[in-house]
Amino acid sequence: MAHIGIIGAGISGLTLALLLTEKGHSVRVFEASDLPGGAIKTTRNRDGWLAEWGPNTIIESSGRIKRLVSMLDLEKRRYYPDSAAKKRYIIRDGKMVAVPVSLMELVRTPLLSRSAKFSILREPFRRRAKNHDLHTTDAPETISSGTDSSLSRKPGRSEESLAGFVRRRLGEEFLKWPIDALAGGIYAGDPERLSLRHAFPRLALLEEQHGSLILGQIKGGVRRPPGSDEIPRNKAEIFSFDDGLQVLPDTICSRLGDSLSFSSRVAGIDMITDPEQGRKINNDDACYTRRWRIHFVNRQEPSQEFDKIVYAGTAYGIKSITLPEKLSDVVAPVADIPHPPVVSLTLGFRRQDVAHPLDGFGMLIPGVEKFPILGTLFTSTLFPNRAPDDEHVTLTTYLGGSRQPEIAEKSEDEQIKLVIASLHKLLGLHGEPLFRHRILWSRAIPQYELGHGRFLSLMDRAEHDHPGFYMAGNYRTGISVGDTINAAFDLADRIDRDLNGPASGANR
């Protein structure tokens, strides 16, 4: 049994702690704040209004996510969306347009012009990307096998922006409306800056494996490795819980019990080596099994030692912790991953004050439409118990992001005026909010922009050169809650192998 320290009680750190505990290891989780879950928090007031602070749903993208829900005995509290929430809307020319989900709907939709529809039909006949189409990063993406474990200084790999890929395969109009709206809805990001390979890897794989997005979908999507329990995104369901997503971290915390330490801010980490007691690593006389010591800001909190340590905090938070010099030199740039500000604003209204039937998941707004909001979720349509009763509705609107970061910095009253004016035009809203809940994430969603591979390489190098140190978070393995849960399963298996197999920090 190993003693493992985890810094950060977001969903990544909590899931990892639960899984390592299930494998028989001793785990301790340190959280700087007084609450678990990171961005996953839920507010419910006495009148029955519910608002999520961060994500509203989890994508059931693998069997492992189902297994986690089962492990926690949460099946009866899990809610899938109401059938009324099937539609998804995009704004075109100031009007709500349902996203087509069949060939006939694509032919008829006003979302795209006739020429754009013909451009989509020609997609299977377009060539694959050539090097001159792509952006070449100036950062290496591989580590060398040299004894100094330094990063290779070979030229970086070529990569393409999401915008460049869509222009090449589907055309400019498809980029300006559906894709720009999608990038804003998922990342609050800019498709001109987002890396296709890192932000939307499945699109890149469809072209790589099938030569075409359309043919790839016809053939069943991205080919998965043998034994994978991944569920294709077009078949994966989304879900929440009866009392919101906070049910998940709260339940994990109840299982972990005294293994959690809140209001426990880490000041620094030391690496401890003892050639007399340690085991050689890879038969290298100069490199021995390490232990790790965590120090805390509160000096009355005693330092603690661990066999393995996982940093599961935010990317930008790594700079606030004093690390061994060589480790710090490698991971410090990870704090530079862009995180634009985003505001989540949930408003509650009388149902009769909203003209639109709200018969869908929500609406996304492309930048070309010049609205001051990124989009709105019809949250009380998605799941029950989000409003006091059927006579009321909740709408969650997002502002800011890479597109309009300055709007995220406005006052709450200014933002509410902007949102109400937008919803008046788009949804026929004619009333004042009965409930309001606002949260500003000054550094919200990590942006997987061109050159993001540099940050991934640095994290790989940190683990390679410092056996027993690991990093986990939505800036590394995908930004969704589902991605983070899947990555926690992978990391738990890897740590267990490193502990029970040959002593090698290079095991991946």
pLDDT of res. 135: 54
The model's confidence at residue 281, banded by pLDDT at 50, 70 and 90, is very low
Q: How far apart are CA 96 and CA 112, in angstroms?
A: 13
Q: State the Cα torsion 63-67-70-75 to the nearest 10°.
A: -30
Q: Would you call 109 exposed, middle or buried from its count of C-beta atoms within 10 A (0-12, 13-18, 19+)?
A: middle
Higher per-residue confidence, 283 vs 409: 409
* pLDDT the model gives residue 83: 82
Looking at residues 465-487, what average pLDDT do you find?
96
Rounded to whole angstroms, how far apart are CA atoms 68 and 169? 38
Enumerate residues 6+ apart whose C-beta is below 8 A from 489.
15, 19, 64
User: H-helix or E-strand containing 285?
Assistant: strand 284-288
Residue 210 has pLDDT above 60, yes or no: yes
Please name each of the domains of the chain with its CATH number.
3-39+247-337+448-500 (3.50.50.60), 42-85+339-441 (3.90.660.20), 112-128+155-228 (1.10.3110.10)
User: For position 503, what pLDDT does the model report?
Assistant: 44
Quick one: pLDDT band at residue 87, thresholds 50, 70, 90?
Answer: very high
Whether 129 has a pLDDT exceeding 80, the answer reads no
The pLDDT value given to residue 131: 57
Single out the residue of 62, 54, 26 nearest to residue 489, CA to CA.
Answer: 62
Q: Where are the beta strands (DSSP E) in 66-171?
A: 78-79, 88-92, 95-98, 135-136, 158-159
pLDDT at 376: 98
Per-residue confidence (pLDDT) for residue 137, from 0 to 100: 53
User: Which of 317, 314, 318 minimizes the C-alpha distance to 476?
Assistant: 314
Cβ-based neighbours of 456, under 8 Å, separated by 6 or more = 141, 198, 476
Instruction: Please give the share of the chain, as a percent, with pLDDT higher than 90.
Output: 81
Secondary structure of the chain: what % helix, strand, coil (to 5)?
35, 25, 40
Cβ atoms of 388 and 44 within 8 Å: the answer is no
**Token pair in block for residue 473:** 């978070």
CA nearest neighbour of 13 among 239, 200, 295, 262: 262
Structure tokens at 461: 């190098």
- Contact present, 245 and 481 (Cβ < 8 Å): yes
Confidence at 44, pLDDT banded by 50, 70, 90: very high
Percentage of residues in the chain having pLDDT higher than 70? 90
Task: Evaluate if residue 149 carries a pLDDT over 80.
Answer: no
Span 63-77, pLDDT tens digits: 999 999 999 999 999
- Give CA–CA dist 484/259, Å, rounded: 21
Compute the average pLDDT of residues 348-366: 97
Read off the pLDDT of each residue in 128-138 and give the average, rounded to a whole number: 59
Q: Helices 11-22 & 247-256, crossing angle to 10 degrees?
A: 40
| C-alpha 49 chain-centroid distance | 26
Q: Could you give the 3-state DSSP secondary structure of residue 193?
A: coil
Residue 507 phi/psi, 5-degree rounding, is -60, 130
Residue 148: pLDDT over 90:
no
Q: Mean of the per-residue pLDDT values for the chain?
A: 90
CA–centroid distance for 104 within its chain: 33
Element (H, E) at 259: none
